Structures are given as structure tokens and as C-alpha cells.
Amino acid sequence: MPGTTTSSFPLSRRQMVKSTAMAMTAASYSRVYGANDKVQLGVIGVGNRGTGVMGTFQQSGRIDVKAVCDVYAKNVDAALTKAPGAKGFKEHQELLAMKGIDAVLIATPDHWHSRIAIDALNAKLDVYVEKPLTLTIEEGPGIVKAARVNERICQVGMQQRSGSHYLRAKEEYMKSGKLGKITMARTWWHGNGFHLRKAPTELMQQPSNLDWSRFLGPVKWRDYDPQQYWNFRAYLDFGGGQVTDLFTHWIDVVHMFMDQDNPTSAVAAGGVYFAKDGRTAPDTINVLLEYPNDWLATFEATLAPGITGAGIEMCGTEGKLYIDRSRYVYTPKGRNAVPVEVKAEREQTIEHVANFLDCVKSRKRPNGDVYIGHRSAQASHLGNIAYVQKRRLKFDADREEILPL
């Protein structure tokens, strides 16, 4: 048994204390889980995405939801109906101070991610945080440091990292070299209607149980605006538009496939071309990143309703690999080539949550580790910065610094 000795001689009290302390070193800030122990989970941000991922955690049968938190009491009440016996909070610090919590799911708007994640990590809790990990390029190193210093598991919600068909495609076509030399990774995500959401009638006037000041948090003050609350991704003060919301997923897959996460330059162009609703994030955007070893990655997206679809295409000298969340298709070069198609086995968030819970118990780093999440968000941020500044950026990925003109 843990903490015992194979010696036939009895331990003195001092020896027993010393032996137990040594046995606990690897889990110095962690509860030691038995085979059937459930992780006690707190959920911070229980809007659409938060309650959806909370449901995935619950369906695993490996957690109990002990507390939920949101700035809108209506969301808290709705989440509590799905998590009977849990406690409800408005401020995340109150949830983090609650005894008995092992881990938190963070699914707030992007501008709260870094602050809540660091607070949770400093509270010695494991963290599953939705992507993008950060609102700005400067926030990433602080979250990585908090995870490492506190020896916490921190998984970023880039679920493709745990997707079985993504991992299989990497092994069969990227590592094997069947595609030859990769020169370009094309990515696109058109017609994502979530970025065109209109606030419902009930939010036209600020509800008395929605704490607008708390929602703003670190963002400078402005009067209540239902659209900025409901469709926060369309406003660069709260999110990074389609680039950090969608491209972050795809560039992370590209990084995983290429085993590189170090762009050296970024350019972008786009604008608000048709969704003239006050948004500050472009409704149409094209980003290009260059990487060492002579290849580049592109992202294009528009909310114009005339085109839809999302995917990645790895372009090589010997063939191409198309992949999305439902399947991948390998096509060798040449005329009359016969494509090979493989369907996804299951929804990737299920696999990603399972990986996180495995790592909470094993203390191994998860598939979407915080540093990986930081580097993929960083690549997306470069695209947005290039768009805002309307110039080509040069980037030192080792120092994580944008170089002067």
C-alpha cells in the first residue's frame, strides 16, 4: 500500500511522517484519486458553450459538478437544473475558494480567460479552458508559468489534439512522409453563423440579474450593449473574431501535423464588408503565416452567406491531405489518383475531455497542454495584429517578440 515499507522492522513515528511526506511529493498539491473517485468540477461561464462542455464532462460519468458561476443569474439557474446539488456563484473567486473543488472548466468570453485561469492555477486547481487561451499575445506566458509553478494540469479546448482521426492521419500521412515535402497548409472556415448572432429581445434592456460591470471585468467601461454581451466574438475588446475563434483550431492542427509552432512572419487583409452591425472584428479575413523549413499556412473566412464550409488541406509534392471534424481524405498526386477517405470515430470534445480527466489522475501533460494552447493562440494573434496594423510582421518565435520595422 502507498506509504508503507517492505521492511519487517516497524517504523518510528518520525520515520513514518518522513516516509509519508516523501510518498506525497509527486502529488504535493493534488488529491490522490482512487480508481473510482470522481473529479469534483466547478464550471465558470455557463452560457451556450459552457453548458455544452459541462454536459460532455457529465456524460463521462467521471465527475460531479459541484459549483457553477456566471455573471448572468439566468444562466446560473439554468445550469443548476442540469447539475442538481451544485452551488451557484456570480464571482469566480468565490467558486475557487470553495472547498472540495479539484478542477474547473472555464468557458467565459475570451477577455476573462487569462485572469480566471491564473487565479484557478494559483488556487492549485487543474484547469480545462476553452480556446483561445488568451485575448492578447502578451497574456500567454503568464498562464504557462502559473501552470508550471503550481504543477497543474491545464488543457486548452482545442479538441482536435485528442481526435482519433486527426491522430491517425498524422501517423499515416504526415510522419510517414507520404505527402512528400509540404509547401502549404490551406485552412478555411466560411459561413460560421455563430458570429452573426443577434441579441434576443429579452436582452435589449439590461436584465436586473445580469452584472454588466462584472462582464466587462478588465475591459474599459462602456454602457450596456446587448450585442457586445451576446455576440462578444465580433468585438476585438472581448475576442479575436473569426481568427482566434476559428483559425486557432485549424492552425493548431497544422502545428500538430508539422511539429512546428514558430511562424516567422504574418500578413493579413480583410474588413467589415457586409455585416454593418457595429462589430470591430472583420467579417471577411485572409491571413498568411510563413514558417521555417520553407512552407506557409493560410486562413480565409467570410461570414457572407453565399459560401459555407470549413477544413484543412495539407499540400505536398506527393499528394494532399484534406481533413475536417468529420473525416479525412488522402489523394496521391497524378491523374486518376484514387482518394482514400476515413470517417471520424466520435466527436472530438468527448475524447479531449477524457484525455483531460485521465491526466488529472495520472499527472501527465494533456494533449492540449497550456503551452501548446499558448503557441497556437499566438499564431492567430499575429494574424489579427497584422490586420489591425496593416503591415507585414516579422516574428522571433524563440523570444516571442514582434520585431521592429
pLDDT at residue 32 in the model? 67
Question: Looking at the predicted structure, is the pLDDT value of residue 221 above 80?
Answer: yes
CB distance 404 to 274 below 8 Å:
no
Question: Looking at the predicted structure, is the pLDDT value of residue 118 above 80?
Answer: yes
CB distance 75 to 49 below 8 Å:
no
Q: What is the DSSP letter of 210?
A: B
Please indicate, yes or no, whether residues 152 and 189 belong to a single structural domain of this protein. Answer: no
Please indicate, yes or no, whether residues 257 and 154 belong to a single structural domain of this protein. Answer: no
Return the exposure string of 341-372: e unless at least 16 CB atoms fall within 10 Å of the residue's CB, then b: eeebeeebbbbbbbbbbebbbeeeebbbbbbb
pLDDT band at 31 (very low <50, low <70, confident <90, very high): low
Look up the pTM and report it: 0.92
Q: Give per-residue pLDDT as tens, 67-94.
A: 999 999 999 999 999 999 999 999 999 9
Question: Looking at the predicted structure, is the pLDDT value of residue 287 above 80?
Answer: yes
Q: Helix or strand or coil: residue 228?
A: helix
Cα–Cα nearest to 160, from 309, 351, 364, 356? 351
CB distance 151 to 177 below 8 Å:
no
- Residues paired with 156 in a beta bridge: 129
Enclosing H/E stretch for 140: helix 140-149
Q: List the CATH number of the domain containing 198.
A: 3.30.360.10
Q: List the CATH number of the domain containing 45.
A: 3.40.50.720
* Total domain count, the chain: 2
CA dihedral of residues 145, 147, 150, 153 (deg, nearest 10) = -160
Cα–Cα nearest to 113, from 123, 128, 98? 128
The mean of the pLDDT values for the chain is: 93
Please indicate, yes or no, whether residues 89 and 190 belong to a single structural domain of this protein. Answer: no
29 located within any domain = no
* Single-letter amino acid, residue 9: F
Please indicate, yes or no, whether residues 95 and 186 belong to a single structural domain of this protein. Answer: no
Question: Looking at the predicted structure, is the pLDDT value of residue 224 above 80?
Answer: yes
Cα–Cα nearest to 310, from 321, 295, 299, 297? 299
pLDDT at residue 405 in the model? 81
281 located within any domain = yes
Residue 295 is placed in which grid cell?
512552407
Angle between helices 370-389 and 140-149 (to 10 degrees): 170
Residue 137 is placed in which grid cell?
499575445
Please indicate, yes or no, whether residues 140 and 215 belong to a single structural domain of this protein. Answer: no
Least confident of 4-8, 16-20, 273-277: 4-8
pLDDT band at 17 (very low <50, low <70, confident <90, very high): very low
283 located within any domain = yes
Q: Which of 131, 160, 189 is the last residue of a domain?
A: 160
Please indicate, yes or no, whether residues 120 and 66 belong to a single structural domain of this protein. Answer: yes
As a whole number, mean pLDDT of residues 186-211 equals: 97
353 located within any domain = no
Q: List the domain range (segments joined by +) for residue 133.
A: 34-160
pLDDT at residue 62 in the model? 98
Question: Looking at the predicted structure, is the pLDDT value of residue 217 above 70?
Answer: yes
Least confident of 22-31, 69-78, 333-342: 22-31
pLDDT at residue 36 in the model? 65
Please indicate, yes or no, whether residues 100 and 177 belong to a single structural domain of this protein. Answer: no
Who's near 91: CB < 8 A, 6+ residues apart? 69, 214
Q: Give per-residue pLDDT as tens, 172-184.
A: 999 999 999 999 9
365 located within any domain = no
Q: What is the DSSP letter of 238?
A: T
Please indicate, yes or no, whether residues 58 and 97 belong to a single structural domain of this protein. Answer: yes
Please indicate, yes or no, whether residues 92 and 204 belong to a single structural domain of this protein. Answer: no
Please indicate, yes or no, whether residues 140 and 241 belong to a single structural domain of this protein. Answer: no
Bridge-based pairing state of the strands 103-106 and 39-44: parallel
17 located within any domain = no
CB distance 227 to 169 below 8 Å:
no
Question: Looking at the predicted structure, is the pLDDT value of residue 8 above 90?
Answer: no
CB distance 177 to 258 below 8 Å:
no
Please indicate, yes or no, whether residues 251 and 396 belong to a single structural domain of this protein. Answer: yes
* Single-letter amino acid, residue 360: V
Q: Which of 160, 195, 226 is the last residue of a domain?
A: 160
CA-to-CA separations, 359 to 39, 141, 340, in angstroms, rounded: 11, 22, 33
Q: Which of 138, 160, 182 is the last residue of a domain?
A: 160
Cα–Cα nearest to 158, from 226, 250, 265, 285? 250
Question: Looking at the predicted structure, is the pLDDT value of residue 28 above 90?
Answer: no
Q: What is the CA 34 to chain-centroid distance, rounded?
A: 28
290 located within any domain = yes
317 located within any domain = yes
CA-to-CA separations, 369 to 114, 131, 132, 362, 376, in angstroms, rounded: 15, 12, 13, 14, 11
As a whole number, mean pLDDT of residues 250-270 equals: 98
Who's near 285: CB < 8 A, 6+ residues apart? 241, 242, 243, 268, 269, 270, 299, 300, 301, 302, 383, 387
Please indicate, yes or no, whether residues 150 and 259 belong to a single structural domain of this protein. Answer: no
CB atoms near residue 91 (< 10 Å): 13
pLDDT at residue 35 in the model? 58
